[in-house]
Amino acid sequence: MMKLFRRIAIVVALFSSTLSGAFAADLNLRWLDAKGAVTAERMLSLADIDKLAQVKIDTSTPWTSGLQHFRGPTISTLAALAPGKVASATVIAINDYAVTLPSAAWEKYGPILATRLNDQTMRVRDKGPFWVMFPIDSDPELAEQHYQSLMVWQVKQIDFITD
């Protein structure tokens, strides 16, 4: 019953999102092995993501003015959703921009996949719905081009490469 209800809710949400113009806040997660074969795959909705452990990052960014409050699960949390040690994560955006985060990066800095900016969801025009965010203010190195390129916005898919 609940399963059905949930499925209906998803369809309705999908539909409504299509109609309302608020696009499908769905995050596609895949786990690939070293050879490139998909070992696992999950599609998470915003509600699903909200259920994961949330972390807050309060920081300023080069693309915004003033202190911003980001909230979302950490990349490592997402990576841990499937078994296997993840070496890197390829983050793909809506415009097909892709970049690879080495596991060292999220282990060192603990970046999140932000779902909320100042407690509000992000429209695509606001660089939503999902934005990889590092705690920029905590380390000046994070302000450099290299890390800027890792803070992918309009994320639609993350591929975790396992060892």
Partner 1 sequence: MTSSRTKPSIGWLPLALIAITVALFFATGMLYVTQTRNRSLMTQTIRSSGWVAYQAELEYVKADSALAVAAIAPNADALAAAELRLEILRSRLPLLYNSDEGRVLRDVIDLEKPVHAAETLLDGLMDRLPAISPTDPGAAETLLAIQKDMAPIGTTLKRILMESVAYNQEIFRRERALAEAPGMVPLLLLFVSGTCLALVLLLQSRRDRLRLDAIVAAQKTVIAMEENLRAIIEAMPACMIVINPQDDSVSFVNSAASALVNLPLDHAEWRRLVHAAFQAAIDSSGDRWGMLNMSYARISGDITSLRGSLCRVIWEGRPQLLLVMVDVSRVRRAELQVMQAAKLATLGEMATAIAHELNQPLAVIRMAVANANRLLTQIEGGELVAGKLDRISAQVDRAKRITDQVRRYGRMPSEENEPFPLRHAVDLAMSFVADHYRSANIRLALEADIAADTLVMGEQTMFEQVIVNLLVNARDAFESSGVRTARSVVVRVRVHEDEAVIEVEDNAGGIAEEVMPRLFEPFSTTKPTEKGTGLGLSIARSVIRDMHGTIGAENVAGGARFVIALPLRHAARNAA
Contacts to partner 1 by CB under 8 A: 18, 20-21, 23, 62-65, 94-95, 123-127, 144-145, 148, 153-154
Q: Which is nearer to partner 1, 23 or 99 (CB)?
A: 23
At closest approach, how far in Å is the CB of 23 from partner 1? 6
At closest approach, how far in Å is the CB of 112 from partner 1? 19
At closest approach, how far in Å is the CB of 122 from partner 1? 9
At closest approach, how far in Å is the CB of 21 from partner 1? 5
Element (H, E) at 3: helix 2-20
CA distances (Å), 163 to each of 103, 106, 112, in order? 11, 16, 22
What SS3 string covers 80-104?
A: CCCCCCEEEEEEEECCCCEEEEEHH
Residue type, 52: L
Q: Which is nearer to partner 1, 153 or 160 (CB)?
A: 153
Q: Which is nearer to partner 1, 5 or 20 (CB)?
A: 20
Q: Are 115 and 130 in contact (CB under 8 A)?
A: yes
Q: Which is nearer to partner 1, 32 or 152 (CB)?
A: 152
At closest approach, how far in Å is the CB of 63 from partner 1? 5
What residues contact residue 78 under an 8 Å CB cut-off, 6+ apart? 29, 52, 113, 158, 160
Q: Are 162 and 84 in contact (CB under 8 A)?
A: yes
Q: Report the C-alpha gap between 73 and 75 in whole angstroms.
A: 6
Q: Which is nearer to partner 1, 18 or 100 (CB)?
A: 18
